[in-house]
Amino acid sequence: MKYDEALARFEPVLGIETHIELGTASKMFCGCPTGFGAEPNTQVCPVCLGLPGSLPVTNRSAIEGIIKIGLALNCDIVEWCRFARKNYFYPDMPKNYQISQYDEPLCVDGHLDIEVEGETYRIEIERVHMEEDTGKSLHVGGTTGRIQGAEYSLVDYNRAGIPLVEIVTKPIPATGDRAPLVARAYATELRELVRSLGVSDVRMEQGSMRCDVNVSLMPRGAQEWGTRTETKNVNSLRSVERAVRSEIERQAGVLDGGGRVVQETRHFHEEDGRTTSGRSKEEAQDYRYFPEPDLVPMAPSREWVEELRGTLPELPAARRGRIQGEWGLSDLELRDVVNAGAVDLIEATIIQGTDAGAARKWWMNELSRRATEQGVELADLPITPEQVARVQAMLTAGELNDKLARKVFEGVLAGEGTPDEVVAKRGLKIVSDEGELSSVIDEVIAGNPDVADKIRAGKVAAAGALVGAVMKATRGQADAGRARELILEKLGAS
Amino acid sequence: MTGTERSGVEGTGQAARAGGSGGSSPQKDTAELVRKTAAELGELLSAGEVSAAEVAEAHLDRIAAVDGQVNAFLHVDRETTLAQARTVDERRAAGERLGPLAGVPVAHKDVFTTTDMPTTAGSKILEGWRPPYDATITARLREAGLVILGKTNMDEFAMGSSTENSAYFTSRNPWDLERIPGGSSGGSSAAVAAYEAPLSTGTDTGGSIRQPASVTGIVGMKPTYGGSSRYGVIAFASSLDTPGPFARTVLDAALLQEAFSGHDRMDSTSVAEAVPPVVEAARHADVDGLRIGVVKEFAGDGYDPGVSARFDEAVELLESLGAKVVEVSCPHFTYALPAYYLIAPSECSSNLARFDAMRYGLRVGDDGTRSAEEVMALTRAEGFGPEVKRRIMLGTYALSSGYYDAYYGKAQQVRTLIKRDFEAAFEQVDVLVSPTTPTTAFPIGERADDPIAMYLADLCTIPANLTGNAAISVPCGLSDGLPVGLQIMAPVLGDDRVYRVGAAVERALEDRWGGPLLAKAPAL
Amino acid sequence: MSAITRDEVSHLARLSRLALGDDELDHLAAQLDQIISAVARVQEVAAEDIPPTSHALPLTNVYRTDEARECLTPEQALAAAPATEGQRFRVPRILDEEA
């Protein structure tokens, strides 16, 4: 069913479960390192391989990380809780149980405010709990390289045991046709929040942040929620939005045709933005949770929690409010800066002495354009806020003009060195030597007698052509304003 | 006969041949060496009167001579053992300060991981597995200079009271080879009772050290939970499993416990407190003025008359030594058995899930068409024995949604009640005593297909597991020619108390008998 | 009345990943029935107001410092694997159930 029609008849209810891998030095329950992209099975030990006899020991930094996330999400940090085993068999899970938390999560009852089209939505957080990640399977054979139809699989346990925080929202009602945008905005805000805490790199493309999106529909005006589906592992912000939209359309179609929505797991496909049913389960899962006997309960002291609260940085929402005022941004400009991931970069550039307008201009225009060209995040460009500030300082001092400044950036991004090195190597200083400029102008006048005559005759506007020729002759290094003054002077038109 | 069964027998058989041909130092009477206690051997070794290699060789010879009858060992590797012994001799020669047990041999239960010997936990599913890491206790034995003679037989994954659940073979009771040596650590108890080793290790989840010690006439100690590391102990029931020592004397057991105990940062449930002064307590052997509680509930129907008689005599003996004996009621102790048979299988159903044919161990039925799920199920059906399957199924049931509250949940509440019983009792008395197990060693096969009857062997030992208390079994006499054990229980971290009482009982009874009980065992 | 049905036993076997034959299931059903009836005694004494005990000792807050330590080599990690390929554990095809 078409989206608008679906929304006219049904009200969606959302729920989002987000998994975030913490960026600790070692795994959740053992000392193996956590680096992304290592050779297979090089970051494993008896514990994370689940070898007989091995035992887990909890990583203190991971617990600090989840408590920080819980505090940033305005959660209560419980005074006592336990890990629980979630029992199910799967080849990428070495113990065939996941150490997780069940009815005693570490953080409960929080909220996160988000904004969509000028309206604020408070997303209630049900719980935030600690668990461990699984290994990764590579499916071999068959036609698609996917799990379906594969002949066998190859498992790498490097990721097994990486600390994983699961953040579960309460059902999110009454978002109407903004449901997909609300879902996306929540994921975006959550990512910003966690990133600001410095506890995870929250890179969806690398899987360090993954969303499962629950959607159900109820007829408009109904009181009772419909059956929900859970779309797993939606791995970009855009996909979060698309998955919600696609599930709304699909479920509306099912309901409209008199069918029933089946409670099931669904998979999102990036290619066409649709979801498909996971393997229909012969029987409901029964995870047989019970308290993890190998780990003792956690009882975070109030002192510890307050100490961690004291380390929280300025959170994104507060920060946005502050910079909007300080930098004099419109709502739209603020949104663009945030979406571009430029807040930190601009702020760091300002700290180096650049004024807010210039700092924003460079990062949001010239550098954003180059990041897009190269297909990387702004923050991943090989240029630092200090370097941007240095270029702007040279510009302010009249040593560079706008055009030259762009060339300096080009050089820095090409790995030619610092701005000063690029200026020196490329010889990019503004030509301020009056004698040299004067002789160039003489040559240009001599080479363009017709234009010169027009100017002498009072058509001052024609001077632009000569200025252009001067700039060309100096490879852009002349001060264009001064060149124009000299041309008019020499031709008696000033 | 399975492949491993053959290799297990060959392992000991090889030792037999080598021992028969090689012999040991002609000056030393090897028969005398194997009858010495660990403490005596330690003194001979530190005085330089005998080398670790000679002591190891004497025990390997003994194993070669008798293990064909006793079946205590799953794995013996003469060369690895002698190499360890020579290393200890070299360390001593180099002037290294070594502990009191350096050079003393120990038989190691096959539930502890060892890098230089296979580790199977008595299961076919782990046949031939060579762990890439040593259990903490294995490492501590090595550091202390103990020489590992081999890996001892056990009920599969420590589930059983007889070793009849071993996937390889049943160990024999040296007092009567047609009877069980107890279990699950039955290989370890048989090895010590048969003078194949002066010391051995065990694990006690519901009585798996104390019951085999009781039925073979030796000393077996379950330390306070968390007092000895579980890292590298193949888990049966994590909240109950407790490694501990077997020995022929109370002092030897204390020496071994001291050698491998202490905090382990690899085990989150390891206690941070210092090891109680167990060796000192074992030498102290004095109960004058001590308050001893007799658990009222552990008597009556189901207890062999001979067991009850020896127990009563032991209590009288304690009284004669100056202890104050009172009867104590622990009303919930009789619920310990059903609670245990919910908690232990629940934990085991989860702990044993990792044996799935994916990363190590047996794989069955992988014909290229079957799914991982099917291969897992075929492997587990073939690789696990009947008792293990029974407990996995029982535990899966107890944890299932809909049954959790009625079974696992209730069992956890019973655990609280038992804890309260212990706390109330220890307000009145310093230690509690009971028979270790209601009967003497039963004939092999008698209870093999009657799980409920088999479970009764752990009736008196289970409460201490549920609450983590320290408890020991010491020999207290014979009933129809078979050993009876006295169980002494102390509060958590009161390990020294049970050694003190155990040593007093041992000294008084040996005075009465004119020597250790084991001296009455028939020669092999 | 039996405490557990033959169907439940069959379901438990699937949950436990045990491919049991009919005979074995029958035998187990009878034994489990007997055992469950016996252990159900725990329900006699455990009143509602009794807190459960999951751990033998009341320890809390055991953590380790976040330091990377030495791993196994891939050779050690894979040494006991029934099958490997390209430094990974080779396993039979996986049915799409959880991932």
Of A54, A288, A293, the CB nearest to B239: A293
Q: What subunits touch chain A, counting only 3 or more CB pairs under 8 A?
A: B, C
Q: How far, in Å, CA of A340 to CA of A379, rounded? A: 9
Min Cα–Cα distance to chain B from C15, Å: 8
Q: How confident is the model at residue C1 (pLDDT cuts 50, 70, 90)?
A: low
Greater model confidence, B104 or A2 = B104
Which pLDDT score is estimated for B379?
Answer: 98
Alpha helices, H only, A128-229: 179-197
Q: How far, in Å, CA of B426 to CA of B455, rounded? A: 27
Mean pLDDT score, C37-63 = 92
Local structure of B247: helix, strand or coil: strand
A299 and chain B in contact, CB less than 8 A: no
Residues 6+ apart with CB under 8 A from C12: B393, B396, B397, B400
Is residue B39 scored above 80 in pLDDT? yes
A105-130 burial by CB neighbour count: b if 16+ within 10 A, else e? bbbbbbebebebeeeebebebbbbbb
Of A25, A58, A134, the CB nearest to C67: A25
Write out pLDDT tens, residues A156-169: 999 999 999 999 99
Rounded to an integer, what is the distance from CA B323 to the centroid of its chain?
Answer: 29
Catalytic residue from among B36, B109, B124, B222: B109
ipTM of the complex: 0.95
Beta carbons of B337 and B462 less than 8 angstroms apart: yes
State yes or no: is B261 an active-site residue. Answer: no
Mean pLDDT score, C36-54 = 90
B115 and chain A in contact, CB less than 8 A: no
Q: How confident is the model at residue B227 (pLDDT cuts 50, 70, 90)?
A: very high
B265 and chain A in contact, CB less than 8 A: yes
Q: What backbone phi and psi angles, to 5 degrees, belong to A81?
A: -160, 165
A26/C67 Cβ within 8 A = yes
Beta carbons of B331 and C31 less than 8 angstroms apart: no
* Chain A residue numbers touching B265 (CB-CB < 8 A): 57
Write out pLDDT tens, residues B339-398: 999 999 999 999 999 999 999 999 999 999 999 999 999 999 999 999 999 999 999 999
Beta carbons of A451 and A462 less than 8 angstroms apart: yes
Is residue C48 scored above 90 in pLDDT? no
Beta carbons of A48 and A32 less than 8 angstroms apart: yes
Beta strands B291-295; B431-435: pairing state? parallel
Which pLDDT score is estimated for C97?
Answer: 52
Chosen for mutation from C17, C89, C93 (greatest number of chain B CBs closer than 10 Å) is: C17
Beta carbons of B126 and B361 less than 8 angstroms apart: yes
Of C4, C19, C72, the CB nearest to B378: C19
* Chain B residue numbers touching C41 (CB-CB < 8 A): 335, 338
- B115: closest CA among C80, A32, A158? C80
The average confidence (pLDDT) of chain B is 93
Residue B211, both tokens: 């019951």
Catalytic residue from among B208, B229, B270, B346: B208
Is residue A273 scored above 70 in pLDDT? yes
Chosen for mutation from A54, A60, A140, A292 (greatest number of chain B CBs closer than 10 Å) is: A54
Which pLDDT score is estimated for A274?
Answer: 86
Local structure of B371: helix, strand or coil: strand
* Chain C residue numbers touching A91 (CB-CB < 8 A): 89, 91, 94
Which pLDDT score is estimated for B11?
Answer: 42
Q: How far, in Å, CA of A19 to CA of B374, rounded? A: 30
Min Cα–Cα distance to chain B from C66, Å: 13
Query: In whole angstroms, how far apart are CA B312 and each of B16, B161, B219, B322?
Result: 43, 24, 19, 16
Q: How far, in Å, CA of A164 to CA of A100, rounded? A: 9
β-bridge mates for residue A379, sequence order: none
Nearest-5° Cα angle at B268, B262 to B274 = 25
A46/B353 Cβ within 8 A = no
* Chain B residue numbers touching A50 (CB-CB < 8 A): 354, 359
A89/B356 Cβ within 8 A = yes
Q: What chain C residue is nearest to B268 in terms of C-alpha separation?
A: C62
Q: What chain C residue is nearest to B393 in terms of C-alpha separation?
A: C12
Q: How far, in Å, CA of B286 to CA of B265, rounded? A: 35
Of A41, A60, A232, the CB nearest to C64: A60
Domain ranges of chain C: 6-45
Beta carbons of A255 and A229 less than 8 angstroms apart: no
Q: What chain B residue is nearest to A156 in terms of C-alpha separation?
A: B359
Q: How far, in Å, CA of B51 to CA of A112, rounded? A: 71
Radius of gyration of chain C (CA): 22
State yes or no: is B109 an active-site residue. Answer: yes
Which pLDDT score is estimated for A233?
Answer: 80
Sort residue A353 into left (φ over 0), alpha (ψ -120 to 50) or beta. Answer: left
A53 and chain B in contact, CB less than 8 A: yes
Query: In whole angstroms, how far apart are CA A429 and each of A366, A401, A418, A425?
Result: 20, 9, 15, 10
State the angle between helix axes of A343-351 and A316-327 in degrees (0 to 180), rounded to the nearest 10: 50
Query: In whole angstroms, how far apart are CA A348 and each of A385, B226, B313, B437, B469?
Result: 6, 51, 84, 74, 60
Is residue A71 scored above 50 in pLDDT? yes
Is residue B174 scored above 90 in pLDDT? yes
Min Cα–Cα distance to chain A from C73, Å: 6
Is residue A419 scored above 50 in pLDDT? yes
Q: How far, in Å, CA of A152 to CA of A139, rounded? A: 6
Is residue C29 scored above 60 in pLDDT? yes
Q: How far, in Å, CA of A103 to CA of A81, rounded? A: 9
Is residue B9 scored above 50 in pLDDT? no
Q: How far, in Å, CA of C98 to CA of A90, rounded? A: 7
* Chain B residue numbers touching A152 (CB-CB < 8 A): 368
Residues 372-391 of B with CB under 8 A from A: 372-373, 376
Q: How confident is the model at residue A170 (pLDDT cuts 50, 70, 90)?
A: very high
What's the whole-model pTM score?
A: 0.89
A61/C54 Cβ within 8 A = no
Which pLDDT score is estimated for A461?
Answer: 85
Is residue B274 scored above 70 in pLDDT? yes
Nearest-5° Cα angle at B354, B116 to C24 = 110
Q: How far, in Å, CA of B378 to CA of A183, rounded? A: 44
Evaluate whether the domain defined by B100-524 bears CATH number 3.40.50.10800. Answer: no
Write out pLDDT tens, residues A457-470: 888 888 888 888 88
Residues 219-238 of A with CB under 8 A from C: 232-233
- Cis bond upstream, residue B184 (ω within 30): yes
Q: How far, in Å, CA of A50 to CA of A53, rounded? A: 8
Q: Indicate the Cα dihedral angle A148, A149, A154, A156, nearest 10°.
A: -10
Beta strands B105-109; A136-140: pairing state? unpaired
Q: How confident is the model at residue B180 (pLDDT cuts 50, 70, 90)?
A: very high
Write out pLDDT tens, residues B478-492: 999 999 999 999 999
Domain ranges of chain A: 3-304, 314-426, 434-490
For C6-45, which CATH class?
A: mainly alpha
C61 and chain A in contact, CB less than 8 A: yes
B137 and chain A in contact, CB less than 8 A: no
Nearest-5° Cα angle at A246, A245 to A247 = 95
Min Cα–Cα distance to chain B from A188, Å: 36
Of A53, A85, A151, the CB nearest to B350: A85
Is residue B90 scored above 70 in pLDDT? yes
Which pLDDT score is estimated for A424?
Answer: 86
Mean pLDDT score, C5-34 = 94
Write out pLDDT tens, residues A296-338: 999 999 999 999 999 999 999 899 899 999 989 998 898 889 8
Residue A219, both tokens: 């007829």
Which pLDDT score is estimated for A150?
Answer: 84
Which pLDDT score is estimated for A279?
Answer: 60
Residues 148-167 of A with CB under 8 A from C: 148, 150-157
Q: How confident is the model at residue A494 (pLDDT cuts 50, 70, 90)?
A: low
Q: How far, in Å, CA of A461 to CA of A466, rounded? A: 10
Which pLDDT score is estimated for A282?
Answer: 47
Beta carbons of B205 and B190 less than 8 angstroms apart: no
- A15: closest CA among A243, A338, A271, A270? A243
Q: How confident is the model at residue A221 (pLDDT cuts 50, 70, 90)?
A: confident
Chosen for mutation from B201, B354, B394 (greatest number of chain A CBs closer than 10 Å) is: B354
Greater model confidence, A398 or B1 = A398
Which pLDDT score is estimated for A428?
Answer: 78
A78 and chain C in contact, CB less than 8 A: no
Which pLDDT score is estimated for A113?
Answer: 95
Q: Taking the CB of residue C46, how many other CB atoms lie within 10 A of it?
A: 23
Is residue A61 scored above 80 in pLDDT? yes
Evaluate whether the domain defined by A434-490 bears CATH number 1.10.10. Answer: yes
β-bridge mates for residue A276, sequence order: A267
Of B247-251, B300-304, C52-56, C57-61, the least confident: B300-304
The average confidence (pLDDT) of chain A is 91
Greater model confidence, A402 or B38 = B38
C17 and chain A in contact, CB less than 8 A: yes
Of A339-348, A432-441, B145-154, B418-427, the least confident: A432-441
Residue A481, both tokens: 């304003």
Chosen for mutation from C66, C84, C90 (greatest number of chain A CBs closer than 10 Å) is: C66
Q: State the greatest distance between any 2 C-alpha atoms of chain A, in Å, as a whole number.
A: 98
Alpha helices, H only, A198-315: 237-256, 302-311
* Strand ranges of the sheet holding C88-92, from the earlier edge strand across to the other edge: A136-140, A152-156, C88-92, C84-85
A91 and chain C in contact, CB less than 8 A: yes
Q: How confident is the model at residue A143 (pLDDT cuts 50, 70, 90)?
A: low
Which pLDDT score is estimated for A379?
Answer: 86
B126/A288 Cβ within 8 A = no
Strand ranges in B167-228 using DSSP code E only, listed in sequence order = 199-204, 219-222
Which pLDDT score is estimated for B18?
Answer: 38
Q: Taking the CB of residue B446, how many other CB atoms lie within 10 A of it?
A: 14
Beta carbons of A163 and A62 less than 8 angstroms apart: yes
Min Cα–Cα distance to chain B from A390, Å: 51
Of C55, C72, C92, the CB nearest to A45: C72
Greater model confidence, A426 or C11 = C11
Is residue B157 scored above 60 in pLDDT? yes
Which pLDDT score is estimated for B454?
Answer: 85
Of A358-372, A418-432, B132-146, the least confident: A418-432
